[in-house]
Amino acid sequence: MKRIAFACESDQGLESEVSAHFGRCPYYTMMDVEGKEIVRSEVVANPYFNSHQPGAVPNFIRSQDVHVMIAGGMGPRAIELFNQFGIEVATGVQGQVKNIAAAYLDGRISGVFPCEHHGH
């Protein structure tokens, strides 16, 4: 079983749009998958949404037993922390969670792309 987290703009789960910014999104959709099948999903509020603290959100995601973090964009410090935690990061995506999940599970999404917000 693999647990994937998606940075989201709303609490609509699989129907939510993936957020352009990992740490400043209001919600995360957590998805448990076996192979290419979604077994379960849930929406978790970002406890740091109104008080963004660099480094706090990666630790929160880690506490959720996540194996993969997917977002539109992410800063270099968060990426470094996830790498230290052994959590795979995929960025540079946009669209609905269900579509991004399908693309990831098909092997069409991977890797970190530069985040213009952070000047990269």
> pTM, whole model, 2 decimals?
0.92
Residue 120: pLDDT band (50, 70, 90) is very low
The predicted pLDDT at position 52 comes to 73
Copy the structure tokens of residue 113. Answer: 């792309």
Question: Among candidates 90, 88, 102, which has minimal Cα distance to 37?
Answer: 102
| 41 vs 119: which has the higher pLDDT | 41
**What are the boundaries of each domain within the chain?**
2-118
**Residue 119 pLDDT greater than 50, yes or no:** no
The predicted pLDDT at position 114 comes to 54
Residue 118: pLDDT band (50, 70, 90) is very low
Task: Average the pLDDT over 53-80 and give the result.
Answer: 93
Return d(Cα 119, Cα 3) in angstroms, integer.
30
Write the pLDDT tens digit of every residue in 13-54: 999 999 998 989 999 999 999 999 999 999 999 999 988 777
Q: Could you tell me which CATH number the domain at 2-118 has? A: 3.30.420.130
